[in-house]
Amino acid sequence: MSDIRVRFAPSPTGHLHIGTARTALLNWLYARKTQGSFIVRIEDTDRSRSTIEFEESILEDLAWMGLNWDEGPDNGGPYGPYRQSERLGLYQHKVDELLHSGQAYRCYCTPKELEERRKTRLATGLMPKYEGTCRNLTAEQESECAAQGRKPAIRFRVPDEKIIVRDLVRGEIEFSSDVIGDFIILRSDGTPSFHLAVVVDDGEMKITHVIRGEDHITNTAKHVPLIKALGYPVPKFAHNAMILGPDGGKLSKRHGATAVGDYRAKGYLPESINNYLALLSWAPEDTREVFELDELAKMFKIERISKSPAIFDIGKLNWLNGQHIRSADLQRLTNLCIPYLKEAGLIPQGGVSKSEFEYLLKVVEAVRGNLTVLSEIPAYATIFLGEYEIRPDALEWLRKPHVPEVLTALLELLRRHGELDFDGGREVVNALRDKFKPLGVTGKDLFMPIRVGLTGAVKGPELPYVLNILDKEQAIRRIEAAIQAAIQAAG
């Protein structure tokens, strides 16, 4: 294992967002590509919004995606604990060091005063920033503020110098300390700010590379001088572009599902989510688009992460999911489909027997080519698992004058054959084609009445699959019913 260490540090204040999942994926890919370590750290210092339920949900979604972690809140590691709420003493110790060295100071400004100054700066066309009101308070002035009952926050004294961020994706980015202002590192209630906690944790956990969204670039400008003040080595940074909605705005619920769990519930496969999120951020060196997770890890190069915003295209995700459904292990795919079939009432809530599962394998194999997401399985499987019923749009195909003759010919073939496998089903279909081609009955005029007769629907799997899955007597009963329906429809 190499010395490279990356981390994913979600806040458990909500479910795992698709954009946050992409950040996790990029970190995981880089760790696995370099034989480094992937660390999960929980940033739960927002006491009012953080919950253990959200933490568990995030970890469950990461595990579902296959992004296994080497160190984390559940499996520990040499630099734990891995929840910020359990590291408060460490943050206080680091603040004391900065106060002692003069690189931090106590700020007694109230939230109301800060807000008034912010509005004043905005009204005069200035960027909001702390103006250093408490930067050079004397001991006497501090005592006076304390006597008034003011509880101080602790601010970092930003050095008066240019700040350089060296980014592996964007190159060198330069900031002036004048536009940053001294920022809070410890709140008046004793809790650390994001800036302090993330810098201390990255330093103490020996993080070598920080891969995160471009919305953190201005945070990075604050973090670099704080990292140096605390004596930590500056990690290498890589800021990937944001994911935007189809309208060019920030991806949000108005564009549809945004949580990984929502896509999971709809029947997207984890390999499809990983595949799509990788392509949103990074360009492979060849023209392939369909990848398994281990292939992505082998091919991943951090310098090929895109600088440009990515537009979330649900159509592309659906296409990729269909590709992965077709190539997935059939037994696994069938097990994943079972909950949707249960919910639709097509199989018993208590589960299925071994023989029934074998039948389901055939059904899933037959219809997988029609699926975009697994939640669509009931619509296609009902022709095998539900009651036979000729749908209104399908009945129109039975009104054609040649239909009774076609279905009668199919009925005779079925009666002469035993149970049909896929190849046997193909032989039956070819025999019907050969019989009716000289009569001018070809294409849809031939195959749609056969499909409707066997399934009651106008869409579904290839006819050899249908003839393979339906047992002989079941197929015969359906064709007999369809012949009667055709005669009635014609009359």
253 a catalytic residue: yes
C-beta pairs of 127-130 under 8 Å, 24+ apart in sequence: 127/179, 129/179, 129/180, 129/181, 130/155, 130/181, 130/182, 130/183
- Taking the C-alpha atoms of residue 304 and residue 169, their distance in angstroms, rounded to an integer, is 8
Q: Are strands 37-40 and 162-167 parallel, antiparallel or unpaired?
A: unpaired
Strand-pairing partners, residue 7, are 39
**Residue pair 259/268 in contact by the 8 Å Cβ criterion:** no
**How many other β-carbons are positioned within 10 Å of the β-carbon of residue 491?**
6
Going from the C-alpha of 282 to that of each of 7, 38, 171, 297, 310, the distances in angstroms are: 19, 19, 16, 12, 10
**Residue pair 281/309 in contact by the 8 Å Cβ criterion:** no
- 253 labelled as ligand-binding? yes
Q: Which helix (H) or strand (E) holds 154?
A: strand 153-156
Q: Which residue has the tokens 């992004």?
A: 67
Q: Is the peptide bond before 81 cis (omega within 30 degrees of 0)?
A: yes
**What ranges make up the beta strands (E) of 231-273?**
236-240, 243-244
Helices within 102-248 (DSSP H only): 111-123, 139-147, 194-204, 217-229
**Residue pair 373/266 in contact by the 8 Å Cβ criterion:** yes
Nearest to 20 by CA among 35, 42, 3: 42
Roughly what angle, to the nearest 10 degrees, separates helices 422-436 and 444-455?
Answer: 140
Torsion angle in degrees (nearest 10) through CA of 47, 50, 56, 62: -120
Please identify which of the residues 119, 151, 162, 253 carries the catalytic annotation.
253
- Taking the C-alpha atoms of residue 453 and residue 175, their distance in angstroms, rounded to an integer, is 72
Nearest to 414 by CA among 402, 429, 403: 429
Binding residues for ATP: 253
As annotated, the active-site residues are 253
Binding residues: 253
